[in-house]
Amino acid sequence: MKFLDQAKVYVRSGDGGAGAVSFRREKFIEFGGPDGGDGGRGGDVWAECVGGLNTLIDYRYQQHFKAKTGGHGMGRDRHGAKGGDVVLKVPVGTQIIEEDGETLIADMVEIGQRVLLAKGGNGGFGNAYFKTSTNQAPRRANPGLPGEEKWLWLRLKLIADAGLVGLPNAGKSTFLARTTAAKPKIADYPFTTLHPGLGVVRIDAREFVLADIPGLIEGAHEGVGLGDRFLGHVERCGVLLHLVDASQDDVVGAWRTVRAELDAYDEALGDKPEIVALSKCELVPEDELAAKARKLKRAAKATPILLSAVTGTGVEAMLRAMATAVETSRAENDESRAATATRIWQPLPRDGDDGRDDDDDDY
């Protein structure tokens, strides 16, 4: 299945049905009066978050979504039917954005979440609606109101607990394949990974989702290489695993290059908890590896984990450190959501507790 994380779609809700002008004409009934029914409401356009999807590839082949027009009113006080709705099914983590590319409409983060994108037009009134004691035979009816239409951007940001970042060919895909059941493409040349990948890590009866994104190079925030568009997939991660290739000469420069790109993309991304690791340790002699680890420790202000996804050295220690960081991040997020809910659902003041004197209520 091909991966697509951005799509532009056109949505249009249905027009309302027109009201009818009709009079009751029946044998033995002298003054039948108006009996024109109202038009039905136009169909709505919804977005629904569903499970089992991790790409927006469906919206490459269909970009236009139009709901049905409401049914027209008819005689004998028959109202038109409501137009059929259209539902856009999107994967978890999809953001729906206005055409300007900046205004966020909705962030779909829970399965079953539904958002109204375009509301259908109301149906018009039939002439039966306008009858009064002074106008007993109205000969007018309203047309239905037009529906809404707009262009929208769909942007997918994969929801993962931890994210892999680093320069190209730093061993990210090899680590993902070693620790999860994912099968990313692995080769000995840069930019082997062209699309983000996900895998589920299990360690000590704990599990979390790990995301692998294409490598970053200097100037990625300006569009160099594959650019930084895939960094959106690690925005939701609670912890970042920064892999630095131990076989290259300047490990500190490699670490600083990626850190600069993270900060240039979003300062909040650069502030996320980071675990630094030296990968491909099996390719470097022990004394040289120790010297590079000391240099990287001074620069990163943290002790790097020596890692080899090929031989398995340091893999379990890395996974346990990541699992602990993920649990801490989840606990902080739960506390933040609970605090937000408490602020939103404040109890209403009881009578006499609104800060006003009862004697001042002269109205």
Provide the pLDDT confidence category of residue 350 given band limits of 50, 70 and 90: low
Spatial neighbors of 125 by CB under 8 A, at least 6 apart, are 19, 38, 39, 141, 142
Note the pTM of the prediction, 2 decimals. 0.75
Looking at domain 162-339, its CATH class is alpha beta
What's the average model confidence in pLDDT over 240-265? Answer: 87
Q: What local confidence, expressed as pLDDT, does residue 16 receive?
A: 96
Top-confidence range, 13-27, 217-231, 281-295:
13-27
233 annotated ligand binder: no
Q: Where are the beta strands (DSSP E) in the chain?
A: 6-12, 45-49, 64-66, 86-90, 94-98, 104-108, 114-118, 149-156, 162-166, 197-203, 206-212, 239-245, 274-279, 305-306
281 annotated ligand binder: yes
Q: How far apart are CA 318 and CA 149, in angstroms?
A: 50
213 annotated ligand binder: yes
Strand partners, 87: 46
Q: Which CATH superfamily does the domain covering 1-24+32-157 fall into?
A: GTP1/OBG domain (2.70.210.12)
DSSP result, 225-290? TT-SGGGGGGTT-SEEEEEEETTSS-HHHHHHHHHHHHHHH-HHHHTS-EEEEEE-GGGS-HHHHH
26 annotated ligand binder: no
Q: What is the pLDDT of residues 40-64, one digit of tens each?
A: 999 999 999 998 888 888 898 899 9
Q: What is the pLDDT of residues 155-172, one digit of tens each?
A: 988 878 888 888 888 888
Q: How far apart are CA 250 and CA 247, in angstroms?
A: 9
170 annotated ligand binder: yes
Q: How far apart are CA 121 and CA 124, in angstroms?
A: 9
168 annotated ligand binder: yes
309 annotated ligand binder: yes
71 annotated ligand binder: no
167 annotated ligand binder: yes
Token code pair at residue 126: 């039939």
Q: What is the pLDDT of residues 298-332, one digit of tens each?
A: 988 888 888 888 888 888 888 888 888 888 888 88
172 annotated ligand binder: yes
Which DSSP state fits 358? G
Q: What local confidence, expressed as pLDDT, does residue 184 receive?
A: 76
Q: Spell out the domain ranges in the chain.
A: 1-24+32-157, 162-339
What mean pLDDT value characterizes the chain? 84
Overall residue count recorded for the chain in this entry: 363
329 annotated ligand binder: no
166 annotated ligand binder: yes
282 annotated ligand binder: yes
Place of tokens 């589920």: 200
What's the average model confidence in pLDDT over 269-283? Answer: 85
pLDDT > 90: what percent of the chain?
32
Q: What is the pLDDT of residues 205-214, one digit of tens each?
A: 888 888 888 8
190 annotated ligand binder: no
Q: What local confidence, expressed as pLDDT, does residue 54 receive?
A: 80
Provide the pLDDT confidence category of residue 139 given band limits of 50, 70 and 90: very high
Provide the pLDDT confidence category of residue 120 given band limits of 50, 70 and 90: very high
Torsion sign over Cα 182, 2, 234, 338: negative
Among 63, 6, 64, 17, which Cα is nearest to 39's?
A: 17
Question: 341 in helix, strand or coil?
Answer: helix
